[in-house]
Amino acid sequence: MRSAASLRASAIPPTAGLVPSRRLTDLPTYVFAWLDSLKAKARARGAELIDLGMGNPDQPTPPAIVETIAKAYADPSTHGYPPFRGTEPFLESVGRYMKTRFGVDVDPQTEALCLSGAKEGIAHATIAFADETTVTLVPDIYYPVHGRATGLVGGKSYLLPLRSERGFLPDFRDIPSEVLGAARLLILNYPHNPTGAVAPLAFYRDAIALCRDYGILLLSDLAYSELTFDGFVAPSALQIPGAKDYTIEFHSFSKTFNMAGSRIGFAVGGRDAIDALHAVRTNVGYGTPAAIQAGAAYALDNVRDLEAPVVARYATRRDALFNGLRSLGWNSEPPRGSMFAWLPVPNGFGAQQWTEHLIDTAEVVVTPGNAFGPGGERFFRVSLIAEPEILELAVQRLRDAGVRYE
Ligand SMILES: Cc1ncc(COP(=O)(O)O)c(C=O)c1O
């Protein structure tokens, strides 16, 4: 029996007679829940917060995508359960996108799968491949589901340190051989949430070599593949010859097309791995509405035109924020990918303490770095989810509160 105190530590309310599973209660505290309660308390005492804590895009889905969805939804043939793998036009557009964007051949019928978002897909892939006997290799500074899904199926995560000196790329040479022997999954995510780090193709060559040598499946999360700046073009692990046998790659429409509320993404990879992911999904759900898939197919077929203003907007915000932060003593390099700034906390603060300090003194909300694992304890994340004027106002509030990085 779990004690009431330990249940509270996981932010799960104990209900008389109902005790959540150990797999759930043993998860580390979800720092975002702590942040939510901190914000609620600040608002209750009248604070007017500038909230740069979440990763939810603030812009609407482009009108042409919305119109395509509306038109498809007006057709009653889209009102039944959608086909399990995805509609044919959607899967065909995935195949075209992977070829034109990455030069990668994907068979739409057997090597692609529609997902209700990359997040859910990664959790389902973890169910498909991890269990009590396996280890998942997870970079320490990770998007929460990467580290937590394995715990939910009773498996163990082994954290790979990420250091700024290495561009926040893990060093595979540091992994002990007994860990590699038990490893079943390696999770990577570049462009990276929260650090904004990007990975060159050569990095994937090393990752695939590791996977091949030890029989590991790479789950590569490309949720930010199109949000890159300064001429950087994010590669796909599938560009490495033979990678398909060891990779499932996850793509999302949430950020590139401001479609976070539509819950759609896709997985591509080798047939066997995609079949296993598909098998999990058929057991637990039905997939994404066909009308949403129609809009997403339109988005992929028009990605160049649709992504350009989104990327330009984030680049302008990034530059405005970093100009302001430089004046407060932060000299960090602006990120080449994602929609986040990842910054060191000043000496004398832990990540959560610093977040609380900014809310209390400047009414600005950021995310404490330890929300992304112990490796983030000396950092905080600022989301570029507001226009430059608001970001400049946030910097001004910090200045007025006497905040400086030193
Ligand atoms: C790294 C990463 N992967 C996946 C997601 C979620 O993607 P989706 O909305 O497609 O589930 C996010 C959202 O913030 C993310 O940061």
Q: What is the pLDDT of residue 11?
A: 55
| CATH code for the domain in which residue 27 is found | 3.90.1150.10
**Whether residues 251 and 312 fall in one domain:** no
Instruction: Flag whether 383 is in a domain.
Output: yes
**Whether residues 392 and 316 fall in one domain:** yes
Instruction: Flag whether 179 is in a domain.
Output: yes
Instruction: Flag whether 176 is in a domain.
Output: yes
Cβ–ligand 1 contact at 117 (below 6 Å) = yes
CA distances for 316 relative to 87, 170, 328, angstroms: 37, 29, 19
The Cα 270–Cα 167 span in angstroms is 29
Q: Number of structural domains, the chain?
A: 2
DSSP state of 172: G
Cβ–ligand 1 contact at 252 (below 6 Å) = yes
Identity (one letter) of the amino acid at 87? T
Its domain, for residue 121, covers: 63-304
Q: Which of 304, 336, 357 is the last residue of a domain?
A: 304
- Residue 36 neighbours by CB under 8 Å, 6+ apart: none
**Whether residues 232 and 293 fall in one domain:** yes
**Whether residues 119 and 150 fall in one domain:** yes
* Atom number, ligand 1, closest to the C-alpha of residue 56: 14
Q: What is the pLDDT of residue 382?
A: 98
Burial 195-231 (b: 16+ CB within 10 A, else e): bbbbbeeebbebbbebbeebebbbbbbbbbbbbbbee
The best mutation among 126, 141, 143, 253 to test binding of ligand 1, ranked by most ligand atoms within 8 Å of the C-beta, falls on 143
Cβ–ligand 1 contact at 116 (below 6 Å) = no
Instruction: Flag whether 405 is in a domain.
Output: no
Per-10-residue mean pLDDT of the chain, 406 residues long, equals 41 68 87 93 96 94 98 98 96 98 98 98 98 97 95 96 96 96 98 98 98 98 98 98 97 98 98 98 95 98 97 98 96 95 96 97 97 96 98 97 91
**Residues 239-256: tens digit of each pLDDT:** 999 999 999 999 999 999
Instruction: Flag whether 406 is in a domain.
Output: no
The Cα 346–Cα 349 span in angstroms is 6
**Whether residues 387 and 250 fall in one domain:** no
Q: Which of 304, 329, 345 is the last residue of a domain?
A: 304
Instruction: Count other Cβ atoms within 10 Å, centred on residue 250.
Output: 27
Q: Which of 304, 328, 350 is the last residue of a domain?
A: 304
**Whether residues 288 and 376 fall in one domain:** no
Cβ–ligand 1 contact at 254 (below 6 Å) = yes
| CATH code for the domain in which residue 152 is found | 3.40.640.10
Q: What is the pLDDT of residue 5?
A: 39
**Whether residues 263 and 388 fall in one domain:** no
